[in-house]
Structure 1
Amino acid sequence: MNRRRRFLGQLFGVAAVLAASSHFPGGTALARGLQRYSTRFLRPPGALAEADFLARCIRCGRCAEVCPNSCIRYFDLEIGFSAMGTPYIIPREQACILCMKCGDICPTGAIQPVKRELDDVLAKVHMGHARVEKQLCLSYQGQSCGVCFRACPLQGTAMRVGYLEQPHVLDGCVGCGLCERSCIQMPQAIRIIPFWG
């Protein structure tokens, strides 16, 4: 099974590189195609800028296999052949815990290695940025909540709380999605806006 997956990954990787280099100079058309995808998604922590990521990823499947939180999935044909097999994360379903194992195992550097140290995380992880919908947030409606802040792995750097635990997103947010995943509101009052576009 692993040999078959690796073969398919290499096949799709070669196709994506050829598409990026010949039909879509710079890979920008690939990135534009992803922007039209209807579901909001994130790339794994340490992923390169989208065009470079798509050109380098060989669809080997190692990042999802090593993920202890099982948050990494792979695109099927719904997003188009050129991005098929690439890894993505839907934070509302399962967020990233910033373990950084995916970057350690990536064989091509499409996902860069990141040390589990604050400075390295802030410098290399750009998954997205959290946005609070105040009209949906319980803390902004007069009820103390604070669930998103307690879920944040970078408290005080990515998020702080104010009166009634009202969340305030800071510049240090890297977009792991744990705040969105933990939000008890439906629809969620905090969501990650991806940086891949």
Structure 2
Amino acid sequence: MKKLLSVALCALLLTGCGGAAASSGSAESTPASSAVSSEAASSDTAQDSTPAAETVDLDGIVSALEAVNPIANPRALDDFSVQNELLLTMDNIEAYKGDVTNDQADCGLVFAVQAKPGKAADVEAELNAYKDSLAANDLYAEFADKVAQAKDARIVSKGDCVVLVIAGVGGPDYADIDTAIAAALN
């Protein structure tokens, strides 16, 4: 009986101590949370006052380019793809959107990047290195048409926007792609 009473008292004491610690912990975190919320609100307000002209319409650019250069069995490019397939430095990128074919017999790709201010040239250089690596893969005859399309790939930048387009194997002529890029970047 004494052991049961001792265990019950210990449990009661531990519960009381845990409750007090939790109360003081949550009381201390409330001001910090509200300070973060205030900072976030003020930074949101600052971002909202940023001119809309600085934001690149990546969805519109990609849609316009894919209307001319449809991507067969498209796979959306994600952070992993951008870093490990396209070999881009994420610190240079504000936002991006793009699709690449998921068809082994094709090579179509449409990719648009809004580079961080002053980083468009770095993104363009990295995309050129990626293009060169694709074009250098001429070891297998069955990839000759994909290599030829990669050699002719278009990398165009305007302001903070950089675009990479590789025509699909059965895709459009690059003259049509050039026209679409010029229209999309205006």
Higher strand proportion (structure 1 or 2): 2
TM-score of the superposed pair, with normalisation by structure 2? 0.24
Of structures 1 and 2, the larger Rg is shown by 2
Higher helix proportion (structure 1 or 2): 2
TM-score of the superposed pair, with normalisation by structure 1? 0.23
